[in-house]
Amino acid sequence: MIDFSQSKIKHLIIHEIGNKLRDEKLFLSSELQSIDENLEDTLLYYFLKSFLSNQELFQFTHSSNLNLNEVYSYSNSLFTGSNETSFIENSQNIAKHLYEFTLHPKITKGELIIVEIENINYENESLNLIGIFKSENKDTFLKVVKDTNSISVKDDKGINTSKIEKGCLVLNYNQESGFVVLNIDNHNQHTEYWTHKFLNIKAVDNNSHKTKEIMQICKTFADDVLSKKYDRDTEFTFNNDYIGYFEENESFDIDSFGEVFQDDEIKNEFFEYHNAIKDNYEFDLYDRFELSSDDVKKEKRKVKNIIKLDTSLELKVLLDKENGTKNIERGFDEEKGMSYYKIFFNEEVN
């Protein structure tokens, strides 16, 4: 875990990144932002809050030489330079690098905030980090104006400090392997450019990452294959069984995982599906590794067993290894000419 409780802002600068495809300009600041105590508290909340619950670890990478990864190289210079002149120069280089990838028509103009934050505790070490944040959408808010005779409001637009659209934290740790990087990239636009082109990072290959990847493969298999080819009971039963496997086991191996499949046909389809999409993942299905219980809980919440009906009704079936969908029965009413679900229960629960 990363401890931000004693964090302080050392340097901060803001540039403006336009869309290069639309010939919008790049504006580079040449001076640091001045910060008082109240502004620092607000900014630290904005920069760090989202990462308290999102601490999946990444590292910079490059196909031939890590030093050719621009953000890695500029971050390294920021840590070693550690003075205002170096900070301004390297932040401008980062902004220029990002500008080269703003080539999709839906990428919007926005501010690029680059900050150095000190007194971060990670692995029992006190260290600095570099934060890189790109704003894209402005929220409307009301500004209260008070004078000697009245109080009034006017609308204004600005950055919503309760959410980050795109941001990364580069910790000055494990420099030789590509630093420790945390990343948020909300895909509300066509923004492959941020994670894979601008940053060029990959997830750290640890148990947490492997747990997320195999559970994501199971989820997409249910969504992409089972939901289209089989009835709801087959899809929901698979969801229940694979979630139950990850909750009940401390480690993953391919032999024991085979128990989640109802029959060989579905098992074979799963392996065919995995082979078709495996280039999208770093996960090796034949790895043995310890499962991360925290990530199992998080991934479980993403699985939605919902039956949507054309009569404006939805049935939500909770994941339950023991009961599964055995308490739901589907039938057809000849008189009404409509399908129905019969639900069995003992008592209503408040």
205-240 pLDDT, tens digit per residue, is: 788 888 988 999 999 999 999 988 988 778 888 988
User: How far is the CA of 264 from the CAs of 261, 314, 318, in angstroms?
Assistant: 7, 31, 26
How many structural domains does the chain have?
2
Q: How confident is the model at residue 188 (pLDDT cuts 50, 70, 90)?
A: low
Q: For residues 118 and 233, which has the higher predicted lDDT (pLDDT)?
A: 118
Q: Which of 72-86, 199-213, 238-252, 318-332 has the lowest mean pLDDT?
A: 318-332
CA distance 117 to 48: 10
Identify whether residues 212 and 180 lie together within a single domain.
Answer: no
Identify whether residues 260 and 242 lie together within a single domain.
Answer: yes
Q: How confident is the model at residue 320 (pLDDT cuts 50, 70, 90)?
A: low
Statement: the pTM of the whole predicted model exceeds 0.75: no
Task: Provide the residue range defining the domain that includes 24.
Answer: 2-136+162-203
CB atoms within 10 A of CB 81: 14
233-254 pLDDT, tens digit per residue, is: 788 889 888 998 999 999 999 9
Identify whether residues 224 and 336 lie together within a single domain.
Answer: yes
Residue 152 lies in a domain: no
Choosing from 152, 170, 203, the residue where a domain stops is 203
Spatial CA neighbour of 242 closest among 135, 324, 145, 165 = 324
Cα 84 off chain centre by: 32
144-187 pLDDT, tens digit per residue, is: 888 888 888 888 787 877 788 899 999 999 999 999 999 998 76
pLDDT averaged over the chain? 87
Query: Which pLDDT value is given to residue 187?
Result: 63
Tokens of 118: 């000190």
Identify whether residues 259 and 197 lie together within a single domain.
Answer: no
Residue 283 lies in a domain: yes
For residues 59-77, give the mean pLDDT: 95
Identify whether residues 170 and 235 lie together within a single domain.
Answer: no
Identify whether residues 179 and 292 lie together within a single domain.
Answer: no
Identify whether residues 123 and 22 lie together within a single domain.
Answer: yes
For residues 44-70, give the mean pLDDT: 91
Residue 105 predicted with pLDDT over 80: yes
Residue 315 lies in a domain: yes
Choosing from 179, 203, 227, the residue where a domain stops is 203
Residue 224 lies in a domain: yes
For residues 45-51, give the mean pLDDT: 92
Residue 156 lies in a domain: no
Q: Which of 109-118, 264-273, 294-303 has the lowest mean pLDDT?
A: 294-303
Q: How confident is the model at residue 299 (pLDDT cuts 50, 70, 90)?
A: confident
Identify whether residues 255 and 332 lie together within a single domain.
Answer: yes
Query: Which pLDDT value is given to residue 284?
Result: 81
Residue 144 lies in a domain: no
Q: For residues 283 and 336, which has the higher predicted lDDT (pLDDT)?
A: 336
Q: Which of 130-144, 226-240, 323-337 has the lowest mean pLDDT?
A: 323-337
Residue 151 lies in a domain: no
Query: Which pLDDT value is given to residue 267?
Result: 93
Choosing from 175, 203, 231, the residue where a domain stops is 203
User: How far is the CA of 228 from the CAs of 201, 220, 231, 299, 329, in angstroms?
Assistant: 34, 12, 8, 22, 20
Identify whether residues 52 and 176 lie together within a single domain.
Answer: yes
Residue with the two structure tokens 């479980």: 300
Identify whether residues 196 and 339 lie together within a single domain.
Answer: no
For residues 94-99, give the mean pLDDT: 97
Write the Ramachandran bin of 142: left for phi over 0, alpha for psi from -120 to 50, otherwise beta: beta
Identify whether residues 60 and 196 lie together within a single domain.
Answer: yes
Residue 118 lies in a domain: yes
3-state secondary structure the chain: CEECCCCEEEEEEEEEECCHHHCCCEECCCCCCCCCHHHHHHHHHHHHHHHHCCCCCEEECCCCCHHHCHHHHHHHHHHHHCCHHHHHHHHHHHHHHHHCCCCCCCCCCEEEEEEEEEEEEECCEEEEEEEEEECCCCEEEEEEEECCCCEEEEEEEECCCCCCCEEEEEECCCHHHCCEEEEEECCCCCCHHHHHHHHCEEECCCHHHHHHHHHHHHHHHHHHHHHHHCCHHHHHHHHHHHHHHHHHCCEECHHHHHHHCCCHHHHHHHHHHHHHHHHHCCCCCCCCEECCHHHHHHHHCCCCCEEECCCCCEEECCCCCCCCCCCEEEEEECCCCEEEEEECCCCCCC
Identify whether residues 185 and 230 lie together within a single domain.
Answer: no
Query: Which pLDDT value is given to residue 326?
Result: 63
